Amino acid sequence: MSVLIDTDSLGRRLATGERIVLLDVRWKLGDPFGHDHYLAGHLPGAAYVDLETELAGPPSPSAGRHPLPSVDVLQSAARRWGVRAGDTVVAYDDLGGLSAARAWWLLRWAGLTDVWLLDGGLAAWTAAGGALETGTVTPPAGDVVLRAGALPTLTASAAAALAVDGVLLDARAGERFRGETEPVDPRAGHIPGAVSAPATDNLDPTGRFLPASELRARFAALGIDGSRPVGAYCGSGVTAAHELAALAVAGIDATLYPGSWSQWSADPDRPAATGP
């Protein structure tokens, strides 16, 4: 599965005039100014992606804070970004891929295969001497056709079962997993049987993904040995996509629970575990 492209490879390919659609997916929990950050400086030619409205459907207690968008909404957005049939797509952010991975996973879920994350994101691009441009980019409309369901997903019940019969990773910060704090969702804690695996631990200090060998060792230490199925969730299905990207780099197939803790914790009939 395609996952990462480094800044040197991307720069060389762009320099040859190869057609590559660049997506700027700057979003952070508690920071509503992603578009302003984009306007202040982005990779040349990159289109801005609004995670809240283009990579998610309307929030609700029954579906979570960032449910999957309808394929029609995602297709309209992808065409606005300029994506055509057969295009290479590269998504990036300024957060080690923690938000851009949502675009990577969603486009693959919708049937695209030539989709990549820029390893290290904006910081790696500028550190390598890459230029930035300001203002809005409005690409010519694309014609891509998307079809939902190319990747599997988990329901709440399936996630509960996987926590028993497989390995269910919780990509949130450890203190949220343990139930010590819960800044946004109805209850603190985690899905019973889940394993804490903060997505930030997939990265090195520069914001690049750890090498595949180190990621394999990380996940092996969490109980992933190839004998059982693997799934991942987070607060609302955003950083769990980063977990899936890291697992893919390590050569491990895994399934996303899109509703994640925001859906689970809103259901009073679902138990919440606390502690390590």
E strands present in the chain: 4-5, 20-24, 47-48, 88-92, 115-118, 167-170, 195-196, 230-233, 255-256
Residue 25 pLDDT more than 90?
A: yes
pLDDT score at 30: 85
pLDDT score at 29: 85
Residue with tokens 């925001």: 262
Q: What is the mean pLDDT of the chain?
A: 97
The predicted model gives 205-223 an average pLDDT of 98
Note whether 220 and 157 are within 8 A (CB). no
* Length of the chain, in residues: 276
Q: What is the pLDDT of residues 113-129, one digit of tens each?
A: 999 999 999 999 999 99
Which helix (H) or strand (E) segment holds residue 75: the answer is helix 71-80
Residue 18 pLDDT more than 90?
A: yes
The Cα 191–Cα 64 span in angstroms is: 15
Q: Is 50 a catalytic residue?
A: no
DSSP string, 237-264: SSHHHHHHHHHHHTT---EE-SSHHHHH
Q: What is the pLDDT of residues 245-267, one digit of tens each?
A: 999 999 999 999 999 999 999 99
pLDDT score at 199: 98
Residue 35 pLDDT more than 80?
A: yes
pLDDT score at 55: 98
The predicted model gives 178-203 an average pLDDT of 98
Out of 22, 106, 232, 234, pick the active-site residue.
234
The predicted model gives 83-87 an average pLDDT of 96
Q: What is the pLDDT of residues 145-182, one digit of tens each?
A: 999 999 999 999 999 999 999 999 999 999 999 999 99
Domains of the chain with bracketed CATH: 4-127 (3.40.250.10), 156-264 (3.40.250.10)
pLDDT score at 2: 81
pLDDT score at 1: 75
Could you tell me which residues are beta bridge partners of residue 31?
28
107 CB neighbour count, 10 Å cutoff: 24
Note whether 196 and 231 are within 8 A (CB). no
pLDDT score at 139: 96
Q: What percent of the chain has pLDDT over 90?
A: 98
